[in-house]
Amino acid sequence: MTSSLLSVKDLTVQVATPTGPKVVVERLSFDLLPGRTLCLAGESGSGKSMTALSLMQLLPKPMARIAGGSATLDGEDILALPEARMRRIRGRKIGMIFQEPMTSLNPVMTVGNQLIGAITAHGNTSGRRAARARAAELLDQVQIPEPERRLGQYPHELSGGLRQRIVIAMALAQNPKILIADEPTTALDVTVQAQILALIRKLQADHGISVIMITHDMGVVAEMADEVLVMKHGRTVEHATSRDLFAHPQDAYTKELLSAVPRLGEMAGTETPKRAAGKAVEAGSEPGAEQPMLQVENLTVRFDIKGGILQRPVRRLHAVEGISLSVRRGETLSLVGESGCGKSTTGKALLNLVPWTGDIRVDGRSTRGLRGSTMRPILRDVQMIFQDPYASLDPRMRVGDLVAEPLVIHGLASGSELRDRVEYLFKRVGLSPEQMKRYPHEFSGGQRQRICIARALSLSPKLIVADESVAALDVSIQAQVLDLLQDIQDETGVSYLFISHDMAVVEQISHRVAVMYMGRFVEMGTRRQIFESPQHPYTKKLMAAVPVADPGRVRRDFVPKAEDLPSPVRALDYAPSFPPPSDLGGGHLVWNG
């Protein structure tokens, strides 16, 4: 029987709180075998990342500390090593890929200098020229095109997928035996996620690396794991092989996690969005055939890029190029596509948050040229739920005041009426009125998203733009928020423009779907048309890249090609040509292929 490479016994981690020490990881034990992948799975706050930081001795001190246990690697307890000795372990024996590559990279240093720093950290190279050659070799290993050119670029010049590859290259610089990957694909598009997961598998096979994968995405667990350790509130609730866990989960929490995972294709044969278990759709709650709630024609958004001494426009970024769409009352139209395709810019244009040309009509009223007070009546009918709930809430205000603010601005309520209305909204989104006095930082991510939904609902809007509103949430919280949005739609008839890159979520919530690529729609149709009979190669590529939460159905043969998207930046006199849209209110439209 193969001996373990890393043996963790009874790991316990404490953090300081105003009421005293709190245990966030409690008596955690596992063995990592050579060349194998162990996934630590669970929701946010379960202790997964704290476990990884403990193994690297990177806990934020003095707030957090290792209170007990051991982690044996090559005969040494790495939890008990002094800092000077631990520096020799980090990178050389254990490498780590952090969740957010942009915050892991120095924004004022080139990629080459950062890689060279990682290579020379332990003094095992024969000079800067050799280190630069090794850096280029690492970029080639992680399948980054034109490695020599990339060495001279800065992190902000690279896409999210390329930045994540750079972080992986840095983690591999010293040829470690163990690679810890902390949510390495959470914020990535499905195609980029598939590339990164395939890359980790390839590196593992080529170099015999053992991997500790930390994730809350059960599709990623099914695709990557040999063994799975499910955590809840710092404790192990289940530890099994991947196949056994998915086929025969034992713990109620594991069963809850698996049941909440959206599975691509489970809506096959149905016309309407998925509803909460046992909930019937009320008569008249389906989209009507009357005048569209939202009508967009030939929407174009371009941003000038300035340069030279006088900072005059020299080029132009073509973010959205001549799209047209309509959303009926009580309908959900989803915009899907990879980062940079123009989804969020489209949503912002509807609220006049970016300059645009074309025609946008909300409930028959044009928003062209409206600003300030003239736009205010439109904003009563159109509200937005932003992707990052924490960034969209003022940290200095109590959440009750944040939800009340739109009502105050529009003069719709005051005094006891205002308080009653806010209490109702909190109850409506599953929060208690007692929580109104708290500040945003006192809530979890899912709770903050519910506060943003309550704020958006405060004016009883007719249309809500939901921009990646569930992208960063755990699967169980994600399911709750999606059910909440659909319940609200059934009761109020509100329309949604749902912006997402998660195809499995889009399949559950949509009536119709529009697929965007480089600022244009390449395919549009009903949910059933798009998911059961996709026509455009790009749509097929998006769906093929979705991880499957079933180890028996993992599509390891599908690996999207690592390539750069065409640049949306053009010369000032560039005039794109593409077929004009026909009526997009229904039917199944495909162009450019």
DSSP letter for each residue of 60-105: -TTTEEEEEEEEEETTEETTS--HHHHHHHBTTTEEEE-S-HHHHS
Q: Render pLDDT for 231-261 as a digit per residue (tens, 0 to 9).
A: 999 999 999 999 999 999 999 999 988 887 8
Write down the pLDDT at residue 124. 61
Residue where a domain stops, chosen among 238, 261, 284: 261
Is the predicted pLDDT of residue 308 greater than 90, yes or no? no
Write down the pLDDT at residue 557. 54
Write down the pLDDT at residue 210. 94
Say yes or no: 87 and 191 in one domain.
Answer: yes
Is the predicted pLDDT of residue 510 greater than 80, yes or no? yes
Say yes or no: 118 and 197 in one domain.
Answer: no
Q: Render pLDDT for 522-557 as a digit per residue (tens, 0 to 9).
A: 999 999 999 999 999 989 888 888 877 778 766 555
Percent of the chain residues past pLDDT 90, beyond the cut: 40
- With respect to residue 310, please indicate whether it lies within any of the assigned structural domains: yes
Residue of 406, 385, 396 lying closest to 451 (CA atoms): 385
Say yes or no: 62 and 208 in one domain.
Answer: yes
Tokens of 297: 């024609």
- With respect to residue 523, please indicate whether it lies within any of the assigned structural domains: yes
Is the predicted pLDDT of residue 573 greater than 80, yes or no? no
Residue where a domain stops, chosen among 126, 148, 175: 175
What is the mean pLDDT of the segment spanning 169-178? Answer: 88
Mean residue pLDDT of the chain comes to 84
Say yes or no: 68 and 200 in one domain.
Answer: yes
Write down the pLDDT at residue 296. 95
Write down the pLDDT at residue 126. 66
Write down the pLDDT at residue 284. 47
Into how many domains does the chain fold? 3
- Lowest average pLDDT, out of 140-154, 165-179, 416-430, 549-563, goes to 549-563
Domain extent, residue 537, equals 293-363+500-593
Is the predicted pLDDT of residue 582 greater than 70, yes or no? no
- With respect to residue 377, please indicate whether it lies within any of the assigned structural domains: no
Write down the pLDDT at residue 581. 40
pTM attached to this predicted model: 0.77
The burial of 120, by beta-carbon neighbours within 10 Å (0-12 exposed, 13-18 middle, 19 or more buried), is given as: middle
- With respect to residue 492, please indicate whether it lies within any of the assigned structural domains: no
Calpha distance 483→479 (Å, rounded): 6
Write down the pLDDT at residue 310. 81
Radius of gyration of the chain from Cα atoms? 25
- With respect to residue 7, please indicate whether it lies within any of the assigned structural domains: yes
Say yes or no: 81 and 205 in one domain.
Answer: yes
Write down the pLDDT at residue 277. 41
Q: What confidence tier does 472 reach under pLDDT thresholds 50, 70, 90?
A: low
Say yes or no: 506 and 557 in one domain.
Answer: yes
Calpha distance 223→197 (Å, rounded): 8
Q: What confidence tier does 461 reach under pLDDT thresholds 50, 70, 90?
A: very high
Residue scoring higher pLDDT (120 or 272): 120
Q: What confidence tier does 282 reach under pLDDT thresholds 50, 70, 90?
A: low
